[in-house]
Amino acid sequence: MLETLKQPWPWYVAGALIGLTVPYLLLVGNKTFGISSSLRHLCAACIPGNVKFFKYDWKKEAWNLFFVGGIALGAFIAAFFLSNPDPIVLAEPTQEYLASKGIPDTTQLLPAEIFSWEQLFTLRGLIFMVIGGFLVGFGTRYAGGCTSGHAIMGLSSLQWPSLVATVMFMVGGIIMTWFILPHLLTL
Amino acid sequence: MEKIIQPIPVAQSDLAQRELDAMCVNESELKHPWWYNLKYAAWGVLFGIVFVKAEIVSWFRIQEMFRFESFHMYGVIGTAVMVGLISVLLIKRTKAKTIYGEEIHIPNKEFNKGQIYGGLIFGLGWAITGACPGPLFAQVGAGFGVVIVTFLSAWAGTWVYGYFRDKLPH
């Protein structure tokens, strides 16, 4: 049993469990699934400043913070107690491409060549971590949701603005991957 | 007939404020002690395990996805949407109530230009960091300490958006 759990989980198992988050949250507390809002609640809780957007009773949204706290804990459990000793099986063309860009090691969750404390103070590290993170936080709130709130919750409840957002997520990601990343990876 | 104008209750205007650009707001009249929130934490734990075990939090999987070289992430998101869609249909069809007997309400998302501009900006960031907000929490939990920097930056990004919100096209 434990051995089976330690293997990488197939997409249909993961997809089904993630999809079930939608009815779970609705049924246990009338909550709609969304993760990026947690960043807004953290702003409201810690540094609201004088910004109207952050002036609300964030405690009423505390469930969302419990949820993301759980995500971090679950990831810890999976990484330290259920981890798969074998490296991730990446598609060959992706592997070859990344190796040609100086990232031959695909065994970890993130490329250690880029995401490390030593790299943080290089131009490349700064772009991947600091600027990349900023774009995620700024963009998701501007769009009013992220992959969970728009792509999963929004599409599940047939909201067309969420389809627009999801298409734009993909467009942004494709532009970055195909036209900008090739230059950034070799900085 | 006399029309009675009622002032908006405080709770309701706060709801409107929280609903602004958010997908995940619902007003419940129920007052519960804090530990009722543990049921969300518990599902979060399961969610975090799935994230890591299905390699959804892997930067490499996101690269594969945007390079169209693997079906994995499309399978995950596609299945999640199908399961979510069927669940929402069933909940609506059966008029299911929450476990506390409240009527289930899914707020409608209003279209604004933010979904275009913001979506594009997030997409750019997603492909660089290999993470949407959920996986950021999971990557830190999985032991990638340096992702705290990415996370703090995302937090700052959200704050800066809030600060300039009125000046941005919506």
Assembly ipTM: 0.94
pLDDT of B108-137, one tens digit each?
Answer: 888 999 999 999 999 999 999 999 999 999
Q: Is residue B136 part of a domain?
A: yes
Q: Is residue B16 part of a domain?
A: no
What's the token pair of residue B85? 């869609």
B75 has pLDDT over 90: yes
A51 has pLDDT over 50: yes
Mean pLDDT score across all residues of chain A: 92
Give the pLDDT of residue B2.
44
B13 has pLDDT over 90: no
Cβ-proximal residues to B39 (8 Å cutoff; 6+ apart), any chain: A28, A29
Q: Is residue B6 part of a domain?
A: no
Q: Is residue A21 part of a domain?
A: yes
Give the one of A14, A63, A154 whose C-beta lies nearest to B37's C-beta.
A63
Q: Is residue A50 part of a domain?
A: yes
Give the pLDDT of residue A3.
78
CA dihedral defined by B5, B7, B11, B14, rounded to 10 degrees? Answer: 110
What's the token pair of residue B163? 């600060």
Domain of residue B81, residue span: 39-165
Give the pLDDT of residue A54.
92
B1 has pLDDT over 50: no
Give the pLDDT of residue A87.
78
Q: Is residue A22 part of a domain?
A: yes
pLDDT of B36-51, one tens digit each?
Answer: 899 999 999 999 999 9
Q: Is residue B25 part of a domain?
A: no
CA A15 to chain CA centroid, nearest Å: 15
Give the pLDDT of residue A89.
86
pLDDT of A66-80, one tens digit each?
Answer: 999 999 999 999 999
Q: Does B148 touch chain A (CB under 8 A)?
A: no
Q: Is residue B46 part of a domain?
A: yes
A127 has pLDDT over 70: yes
Q: Does A187 touch chain B (CB under 8 A)?
A: no
Q: Is residue B31 part of a domain?
A: no
Query: How many structural domains does chain A have?
Result: 1
Q: Is residue A124 part of a domain?
A: no
Which residues in chain B (75-134) have CB-CB distances under 8 A to chain A?
A: 75-85, 87-88, 90-91, 96, 98-100, 102, 104-112, 114-134
Q: Is residue B30 part of a domain?
A: no
Give the pLDDT of residue B27.
61
Region of residue B58 (phi > 0: left; psi between -120 and 50: alpha; otherwise: beta): beta
Which residues in chain A (134-153) have CB-CB distances under 8 A to chain B?
A: 134-153
Give the pLDDT of residue A88.
82
Query: How many structural domains does chain B have?
Result: 1
A50 has pLDDT over 80: yes
In Å, what is the CA distance from A53 to each residue of A136, B22, B161? 18, 11, 9
Q: Is residue B156 part of a domain?
A: yes
Q: Does B153 touch chain A (CB under 8 A)?
A: yes
Give the pLDDT of residue B128.
95
Domain of residue A13, residue span: 1-86
* Chain A residue numbers touching B152 (CB-CB < 8 A): 133
Task: Report percent pLDDT > 90 for chain A.
Answer: 79
Give the pLDDT of residue A15.
95
